[in-house]
C-alpha cells in the first residue's frame, strides 16, 4: 500500500499563474481533504471531497477549486496565484471510519 501520494513534490510559479496539484488517496479511502500550511503555522483546511463533490469548505477564496475523480484521486487548482499562496499543500485521505486521516508528503508551492 503506497499510502497517500502527492505530485509534484515542489513547484515554482509566478504571480498570476495557475497551478494544479494532485493527490491519490490511500487504498480503501474515499474522502480527500486539502490543507494549506504556511511556514511555521498549522495546516488550514481548504476543502473536502467525497463522492466527487465538495462536501465541506474552509475560508478560502474561489480561486481555490478542486475536483475528485471516480477513482477517488483529487486535484487542487489555484488560479491567479498570489505571493501569499506560497505554502506546503497537504492532502489527507480518510475512509468510512472517521478516526482515519492519513496525510501525504505534501507539495511545496513557491510563488515568485
- Residues at the site binding another protein, with contacts judged by CB under 8 A: 4, 6, 33, 40-45, 55-56, 88, 90, 98-99, 101-106, 108
DSSP 39-58: TTS--EEEEEEETTEEEEE-
Q: How far is the CB of 85 from another protein (least distance, A)?
A: 17
The full length of the chain comes to 112
Q: How far is the CB of 82 from another protein (least distance, A)?
A: 21
Q: How far is the CB of 42 from another protein (least distance, A)?
A: 4
How many CB atoms neighbour CB 59 within 10 A? 7
Strand, helix or coil for residue 17: coil
Closer residue to another protein (CB): 78 or 92:
92
Closer residue to another protein (CB): 79 or 101:
101
Q: How far is the CB of 11 from another protein (least distance, A)?
A: 13
DSSP 69-101: -TTS-EEEEE-S--GGG-EEEEEEEE-SSTT--
11, 19 contact by CB (below 8 A)? yes
Amino acid at each position: 500500500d503506497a499510502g497517500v501520494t502527492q505530485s509534484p513534490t515542489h513547484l515554482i510559479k509566478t504571480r498570476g499563474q495557475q497551478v494544479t496539484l494532485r493527490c491519490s488517496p490511500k487504498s480503501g479511502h474515499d474522502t480527500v481533504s486539502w490543507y494549506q500550511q504556511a511556514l511555521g503555522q498549522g495546516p488550514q483546511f481548504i476543502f473536502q471531497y467525497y463522492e466527487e463533490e465538495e462536501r465541506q469548505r474552509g475560508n478560502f477564496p474561489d480561486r481555490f477549486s478542486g475536483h475528485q475523480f471516480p477513482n477517488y484521486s483529487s486535484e487542487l487548482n489555484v488560479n491567479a496565484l498570489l505571493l501569499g499562496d506560497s505554502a506546503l499543500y497537504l492532502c489527507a485521505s480518510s475512509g468510512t471510519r472517521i478516526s482515519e486521516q492519513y496525510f501525504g508528503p505534501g507539495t511545496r508551492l513557491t510563488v515568485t
